[in-house]
Amino acid sequence: MKTRTLTALILAPAAIALILFAPTALFAVVTGAAFLYALWEWTRMLGLRDAGLRGTAVAAHAAAMVALWTVRGGTAWWAVILAGVAWWPVAALWLRHFSFGVAPTREHIALKLAAGFFIVVPAWCGLLQVHGGAGNGHWWTLFGLMLVWVADSGAYLAGSRWGTTKLAPRISPGKTWAGVYGAVAASAVVGVIGAWLLGLRGAPLAGIFVLAMLTVLASIVGDLFESLIKRHANVKDSGDLFPGHGGMFDRLDSVFAALPVWAAGLALLRA
């Protein structure tokens, strides 16, 4: 826990400074590199051993991200974000049939590689859509990410203190329903405070509160889905990049699920 806390204390200020002060173009490059590194870890968890094949897969995703950047805000851009939103109910269904795709066949690897696209690329597009949007886009980005970060802490604290009933014991034995309730409660507090500080009152504040809850629920599915893939791969972490935290994908799994929901929801509420 000490190592985990020290790592977080180092990373959090750098991440917040990047979100608040970097122009969106620079933010796109830095986050794109982080997301692609997470995808590199993903290819390892899928069972791809050849570095050339893994590099080709990552390069293809990078090319797709560059192409989408050139049409950001357009139909293709939003189609990808909405595909990311639609993916997570599918992932939830996969969690109910957790043994599906467990065998390391070519077909299953290809399926999980395709899933990686719907996990990573829509999240990147959603992140930049919010960050580059009008009306305090940088602050709305921090707000959305704070919901996920606080939910993670709330889940850990509540689960450690009151967790008895397992959420998905065959996928992630450490997660409990108390953790889910803690995540939702913690993010609810942050959702109300954040919306209030950003000047929302009345119906708009209520709308953001509902969106915050949906975003956090999506983040929980994202966390569980990565746990499922790690179970399939028989690994504890996606990597060892961050002491006490595991790999890049381990740090971003909840964020990947939350960002398309956050971006699409904000756009709907502002329409």
**Does the pLDDT value for residue 122 go beyond 90?**
yes
pLDDT tens digits, one per residue of 31-44: 999 999 999 999 99
Secondary structure (3-state) at 136: coil
Give percent of the chain with pLDDT exceeding 90: 84
Residue ranges per structural domain of the chain: 2-270
Question: Would you place residue 245 in the very low, low, confident or very high pLDDT band (cuts 50, 70, 90)?
Answer: low
Phi and psi dihedrals of 242, rounded to 5? -115, 115
pLDDT tens digits, one per residue of 199-218: 899 999 999 999 999 999 99
Determine the average pLDDT of the residues in 130-138: 91
DSSP-assigned states of every residue in 188-256: HHHHHHHHHHTT--HHHHHHHHHHHHHHHHHHHHHHHHHHHHHHHHT-S-S--SBTTTB-HHHHHHHHH
- Output the pLDDT for position 6: 73
**Does the pLDDT value for residue 1 go beyond 60?**
no
**Does the pLDDT value for residue 3 go beyond 70?**
no
Question: Would you place residue 2 in the very low, low, confident or very high pLDDT band (cuts 50, 70, 90)?
Answer: low
Contacts 24+ apart (CB under 8 A), 60-68: 61/36, 61/116, 61/117, 61/120, 61/121, 62/32, 62/36, 64/117, 64/121, 65/32, 65/35, 65/36, 65/121, 65/124, 68/121, 68/125
Contacts of 180 (CB under 8 A, 6+ apart): 155, 167, 220
Q: What is the mean pLDDT of the chain?
A: 93
Question: Would you place residue 49 in the very low, low, confident or very high pLDDT band (cuts 50, 70, 90)?
Answer: confident
Query: Cα angle vertex 152, ends 147, 156, to 5°?
Result: 145
**b/e per residue, 171-199, with b = 16+ CB within 10 A?**
bbeebbbbbbbbbbebbbebbbebbeeee
Alpha-carbon distance of 72 to 123, in angstroms, equals 13
